[in-house]
Amino acid sequence: MTKCSKCEHPAKVKSGKYAGLCAECRRKQYYADHKEHERQLCQKWYEANRDSEIEKNLEYRRQNRKLFEWYHDKDRFNGMRKVIQNRNGNKCQICKTKEKLTVHHIDGRGYKSVDKDSVNNDVENLITLCSPCHKALHHWQKRHRQLKSREDIVRTLVKAREALRNAVPMRRSFLHVTN
């Protein structure tokens, strides 16, 4: 078997522009070759549709004003949202990022609970996660089981991120894993 001309990994012999490259190097080179062209196409589309997109966004905000007001309401977690984020150092408890922070109900009894009276906004039931980790947690819980403690959540998602870091390169966008 031939070795990749860039990284020395085994490469299947192929003809054409990407001959002599392993799958990972072929993928990286392909995206590098097409990145600028894609950026130009996006820019042209935006310039052609800017006014209609701005109008659509404003219309959506007008129609969903109550949703926006509710989402940005400081009292949504009985005023505990900022307290929880401060307690957790204003960073995600899984990946330690400080961007796109949300608060997660550990026992699953949040605002979408069937019984609205059972919403549990106790300090010990809330944890700070970034949006991608929060989404990944709910994705994991749909397939497996409900995690009932802060330690279980952190341990499970850290293991999942490590597994993905060592997994197939095409799936690295899940949990925003970076090297």
Nearest to 176 by CA among 66, 119, 97: 97
Alpha carbons 34 and 123: distance in angstroms, whole number: 48
Alpha carbons 77 and 119: distance in angstroms, whole number: 9
Cα–Cα distances (Å) from 62 to 52, 55, 67, 116, in that order, read 15, 10, 10, 27
Nearest to 131 by CA among 102, 171, 172, 95: 102
Q: What pLDDT does 41 receive?
A: 92
**pLDDT tens, 89-147?**
999 888 888 988 888 887 766 655 555 555 677 778 888 888 888 888 887 777 777 66
**pLDDT tens, 28-86?**
888 888 888 888 999 999 899 999 989 998 888 888 887 777 666 666 667 777 888 88
Extents of the domains making up the chain: 1-72, 77-176
**pLDDT tens, 146-158?**
667 777 777 777 7
110-145: burial string, b at 16+ Cβ within 10 Å, e else: beeeeeeeebebeeebbbbbbebbbebbeebeeeee
Q: What pLDDT does 73 receive?
A: 64
Pairing state between β 10-11 and 2-3 = antiparallel
Residue 86 host element (H or E): helix 81-87
Residue 36 C-beta-side C-alpha neighbours within 13 Å: 3
Q: What are phi and psi of 69, to 5 degrees?
A: -65, -40
pTM metric for this prediction: 0.48
Alpha carbons 27 and 172: distance in angstroms, whole number: 13
